[in-house]
Amino acid sequence: MAQRCLLHRSKLTIFIAWLGERSLPLKGRFEVARWKGPANQPMRIIFDNYHSNEHLSCNDAAIPDVLKFIRSSKLIDKNI
């Protein structure tokens, strides 16, 4: 099941930069980010759901990586 309201649209370019070389080409018109996880794991995808003006949706496999990004960005914000 997709998780909505997890990643804010304004953080998408920073998130893709955070992924670095793990980022893969997009395949669908609703995909805004795609990357591969560990071997034999499902593809991680973030979707533009057009129902929310502020947030993006991600599949279940992407949730741990998105949460790591959110935690790391909060730590950086606190240190500045």
Which residues span the domain enclosing 26?
3-79
- Which residue, among 13, 52, 6, has the nearest Cα to 32 in the 3D structure? 13
How much of the chain exceeds pLDDT 70, in percent? 90
Task: Tell me how many domains the chain contains.
Answer: 1
- Single pTM value for the model: 0.84
Q: Which helix (H) or strand (E) holds 44?
A: strand 44-47
Task: Read off the pLDDT band of 46 (50, 70, 90).
Answer: very high
Query: With 60 as the cut, is the pLDDT of residue 80 above it?
Result: no
Cα–Cα distance, 76 to 52 (Å, whole number) = 27
Average pLDDT over residues 10-25: 93
Residue at token pair 């995808």: 45
Contact between residue 56 and residue 7 where contact means Cβ atoms under 8 Å apart = yes
